[in-house]
Amino acid sequence: MKQRIIKALSRTKKQNIIFTDAPLAPAAVLLPLYQKDGEYHILFTKRTENLVYHKGQICFPGGARDEEDKSLEYTALRETFEEIGVHPRDVEILGQLDNMGTVSSSFLITPFVGLMPYPCEFVVNRDEIEELVAVPISALLDKDNYWEEFQVHQGKNHLVCFYQYQGKVIWGATARILKQFLDLVFGSDEDGI
């Protein structure tokens, strides 16, 4: 699986996917993968209601680039450590996805796909993260857990994708990043998970 992901991510030319004319600040997230009981899972965070951006949403760990960050990969790993306590040395970066613009918060997010060990000692920053949400990839590939709809933002129609798992809904930039990952890795005729 690891080699399949690396191969799929290396085949694409990275681009910016932007839905707004507003200036965008650089940010980065980690799409964290781990293997449990023979199946790959993706770890998401549910943000607290007291944050400025994306209150209560299910997201990947990550955030805005600090001036002293030496790269966006460093930003993703730093933010992951700050939010859920996973040390950068414990994450193997497998590749990068397209830069994804947010519609409401004016960030240009660079997503990195990383493999983490399991089990892992999470140290959750309760000021930012309400809970961790681990989802098996098989559930995300189940067409019954996915839908799309058009929404209007700033007078423009946008196709928004949604994933659900055990009553939790993943949408917005996180869902777009997730969809690109799943399409790249599992959208071919290669063997399944």
**Confidence grade of residue 193 (pLDDT, cut at 50, 70, 90):** very low
Architecture (CATH level 2) of domain 2-138: Alpha-Beta Complex (3.90)
* Side-chain half-sphere CA neighbours of 166 within 13 A: 6
Q: What percent of the chain has pLDDT over 90?
A: 70
C-beta separation of 137 from 55 below 8 A: no
Q: Between the CA of residue 121 and those of 84, 85, 132, 141, what are the distances in Å?
A: 9, 8, 12, 27
pLDDT average, residue stretch 166-174: 93
Residue 62 pLDDT more than 60?
Answer: yes
pLDDT average, residue stretch 97-122: 90
Looking at per-residue pLDDT, the higher value among 111 and 107 belongs to 111
pLDDT average, residue stretch 134-153: 92
Residue in the structure block whose two tokens are 């799409």: 31
**Predicted pLDDT at 140:** 97
**Confidence grade of residue 136 (pLDDT, cut at 50, 70, 90):** very high
| Residue extents of the structural domains in the chain | 2-138
**Confidence grade of residue 13 (pLDDT, cut at 50, 70, 90):** confident
For strands 146-153 and 156-165, give the pairing: antiparallel
